[in-house]
Copies of this chain bind each other. A is one copy, B any other.
Amino acid sequence: MENSFQIQPVGVINKKAGNIYLEIRPDYNKALSGLETFSHIMVLYWLHENDAPDKRSVLQVYPRKNRANPLSGVFATHSPLRPNPIAVTICQIMKIENNIIQIKDIDAFDQSPIIDIKCYLPEKMNTSSIRLPKWAETKAK
């Protein structure tokens, strides 16, 4: 486990005039074909502002930066502070034009590097089997 892996950005998140665009590198145009048959996508992006040794070594946080929540391991949260600063989020597609995907909303900083796009397939799980702690029951603001 001593080796490390290389990630190449495939695009960038561009926020302008109240709209949000996923600008995919034109050489990946073909990788987008068929995406228009889906309503939603899973976007993996790099939390570039947290790609620093001191931030990648944080192991525990207060969820949602609220000290009323129990101090938790970063793997038990979606904190942007984590050993490998990758965020995963589901977004609704508004429009696709060539290599530009316009999406409805994303909780990401402008200019975050995109590292992967996957079609969104709903989880087929028994929702009664899902258990969460209290702090996670409400949606993050």
Residues from chain B with Cβ under 8 Å of A118 in the complex: 75, 77-78, 88
| B35 & A76 in contact (Cβ 8 Å cutoff) | yes
A133 at the B interface (CB under 8 A):
yes
Question: A32: which B residues are within 8 A, CB to CB?
Answer: 73, 75-76
Q: Looking at the assembled complex, report how far the CB atom of A8 sits from the nearest CB atom of chain B, in whole angstroms.
A: 5
Are the CB atoms of A120 and B116 closer together than 8 Å?
no
A19, B42: Cα distance in complex, Å: 29
Bound CA span A72–B118, Å: 12
Residue A30 interfacial (CB < 8 Å): yes
Asked if A141 CB lies within 8 Å of chain B CBs, one says: no
Copies of this chain, complex-wide, total 2
Distance between Cα atoms of A116 and B115 in the complex (Å):
14
| Given A35-B73, A60-B33: A5 in contact with B88 (beta carbons within 8 A) | no
**A114-139 residues at the B interface, CB under 8 angstroms:** 115-125, 127, 129-133, 136, 139
- Asked if B5 and A7 make an inter-chain contact with CB atoms under 8 angstroms apart, the answer reads yes
| B-side contacts of A83, CB under 8 Å | 8, 10, 28, 31, 116
22 A-B pairs whose Cβ atoms sit less than 8 Å apart in the complex:
A1-B12, A1-B25, A4-B7, A5-B7, A6-B7, A7-B7, A30-B59, A30-B60, A30-B73, A33-B60, A33-B72, A37-B132, A38-B131, A39-B132, A75-B116, A75-B118, A75-B119, A77-B118, A78-B121, A82-B116, A92-B129, A122-B127
